[in-house]
Amino acid sequence: MGPGRVSEAQLVFSRAVAGDAAELCALLNAVAVDLTRRYGDGHWTRVSTEKGTLRRIADSHVVVARDSHGRLAGTFELVTKKPWAIDRACFTPVKRPIYLINMAVDVSMQRRGIGRKLLAEAERVARAWPAQSICLDAYDTPAGAGRFYARCGYREVGRKVYRGVPLVYYESLIRPAVD
């Protein structure tokens, strides 16, 4: 494992609970501030609220990853309802797609393998759901994470400008668990 990498044993994944909302909201806002500082104002320049975060925790499958010191290292959200910016026509037709949204890694912990571990956990959760694919979008701008998803094995399936937001769509087909 390279310098600064995070081992599997150093991350603990759990489903978010209401008590995580303030810390989760702070993480999402810090990531938005960092993206805005680096790339200027854009769709990523948003403010998460604790009330909205609590609603997402109640209504979807929000996962948090904590490091060995209990600090929130990253998060993602899985939903079965198609997000507003997804054009299903671009994706492989499956009966049970799942959508990955709101993935974020603490700014001070980025480039340490946490994002890859979040995606591996998302696949584990999706397989148990059971889902047949993970679908997502990334900004088609320098602020977007598309190259990261491609390096992690996600396949680009389309590009769209949706309500003025340039997007790249990615998917990962979920293989059934082998018993």
Per residue in 76-85, pLDDT tens?
999 999 998 9
Residue closest to 77 by CA, chosen among 62, 56, 96:
62
Tokens of 62: 């929000």
Give the pLDDT confidence score for residue 8 in this predicted structure: 47
| Residue located via tokens 């480039």 | 111
pLDDT at 9: 52
Query: How confident is the model at residue 2, as a pLDDT?
Result: 43
Whether the CB-CB separation of 74 and 108 falls below 8 Å is answered with no
User: According to the CATH classification, is domain 8-173 in 3.40.630.30?
Assistant: yes
Bridge partners, residue 98, by sequence: 134
Task: Show the tokens assigned to 59.
Answer: 């209504």
For the chain, residues with pLDDT lower than 70 are: 1-9, 176-179
CA distances from 58 to 15, 53, 78, 99 (A): 11, 9, 12, 17
At residue 118, the pLDDT reads: 97
By the 8 A CB rule, do 62 and 14 touch?
no
Tens of pLDDT, residue by residue over 42-59, are: 777 888 999 999 999 999
